[in-house]
Structure 1
């Protein structure tokens, strides 16, 4: 796990992350586990101290302009379409990807989100919430921690994450829209369930998606590798900013070169080596 740092950014009165194994710590962990089991997602409101919400917003707003913007037509797996795929395959359904990402190497180490991502006690808390003995920061130098930027009039289309589970923190909410929608456990490590995925992205199964409106400082935990999810179109004048904390159950996980270039506009030697794959699912 990462190096221990100061956790004064967390509202430790409500969420004693710095006191692992204490009764209060276990109370929070057990609540999150129960919500993950029943809803596929858990939100820890005001995880960041309310007094620091403006600092959190300002730090992320400063790096938001560094995000890689490249509106393009993609599919739910963010992969090239193989000519051999059946005509009714969900990968053949085009969508517009309009959001942008600021990569980890552009986020200063003294920011709230970087300090939190690398903190060993926070990682222990995350692992416990997902019922894991340990979690690892991604070996990916760009995708381990990033800021998701969704501008007004744009959204983040249906997709899956490359890591098994997702942890995120809303840092700036839009005036309207920008609702998080997700379909928990729509696929598994051994079953793609293409028909179910296709029904959702084509709008034929609108009942399956859960809708969630997040507030600044809220910590969100869910299994993004297996949950189809998106952010609806942002309305108004203000961008939607979300810090994405990517961890894995094993060390050395790195994103694919194709998806890395798609998200960040560049590829590093670590991506060409592709040290570790999580599974054999489409990305």
Structure 2
């Protein structure tokens, strides 16, 4: 019988599975042997580590079993209408646009953010993306790939696992992630547009490299930008805290959907009040409490 642990996330019960067989139902374990402990798994992890060291990004093609791709798409498409949408003017650092900054600082350059997010507490426990996010086996794999002893789900009741929705005519402009690394999966592709572009390791925990960031935002930093082709069911592991990235404008009649699985090296991570309200249109008591005991892992602007 599967081993499960029931706990709470926001207002909904989340079922954490420690059953390797549950992962085997979702993941193509022939290609990606997450439930093994031998050489095949080690080879997969080693290849991902090499990608991340070199490019800050690795993609595992067809991670989800092909037979489940229609289910994956349908589950997330059903959730998409509950996304919070609020087109707004932002900067790449997701800080207040009136933050006092010196002339020429890239944080003074603004863009329109037109994507929307389905919050974690709207995603059912039985959905494929929720089963992956809460799986101890999957979490162990993610930690190994990022060369970490372990990773934790975000304690944030709204963030952690979200569905990113980019409707036709909209985009997710250049930005850095708040968390150190991100795992994501395209669940529905757009007809045209919606390309994922990124600048590998354009900054570090020690250096902001504002000149390079400003060059990309100005449109003059093409040499720093890479474009990545993603397909539904592909798993993307990404160091988004240090790599500036965006989703270009979506065109056609089909929205672009992607699930974002956010983990952290630290326990108890909860998003800031301003950032949470920006993304979800609401904050919960947990966010207000966390603001009073905020702990930072670096000294970067955001």
TM-score by length of 1: 0.96
Q: Is the 8 A contact 1:16 1:25 kept in 2?
A: yes
Structure 2 counterpart of 1:11: 28
1:31 equivalent in alignment to 2:47:
yes
Q: How far apart, CA to CA, are the structure 2 residues paired with 1:195 and 1:38?
A: 22
Q: Is the 8 A contact 1:254 1:276 kept in 2?
A: no
Q: How many residues matched?
A: 282
Q: How far apart, CA to CA, are the structure 1 residues paired with 2:217 and 2:226?
A: 14
Deviations 1:67-108 (A, max 9, x none): 000001111111113553102111111100000000000000
Q: Is the 8 A contact 2:17 2:131 kept in 1?
A: no
1:277 equivalent in alignment to 2:293:
no
1:267 equivalent in alignment to 2:286:
no
Q: SS where residue 71 of structure 2 aligns?
A: helix
Paired residues for 1:110-189 under 5 Å: 110-189=126-205
**Unmatched runs of 5 consecutive residues or more in structure 1:** none
| TM-aligned CA deviation for residue 270 of structure 1 | 1.6
Q: How far apart, CA to CA, are the structure 2 residues paired with 1:81 and 1:179?
A: 26
1:74 equivalent in alignment to 2:74:
no
Q: How far apart, CA to CA, are the structure 2 residues paired with 1:272 and 1:238?
A: 37
Q: How far apart, CA to CA, are the structure 2 residues paired with 1:235 and 1:41?
A: 25
CA RMSD of aligned residues (A): 1.4
Distance 1:276 1:175, change over 3 A: same
**Unmatched runs of 5 consecutive residues or more in structure 2:** 6-15
Structure 2 counterpart of 1:220: 236
Q: SS where residue 246 of structure 1 aligns?
A: strand
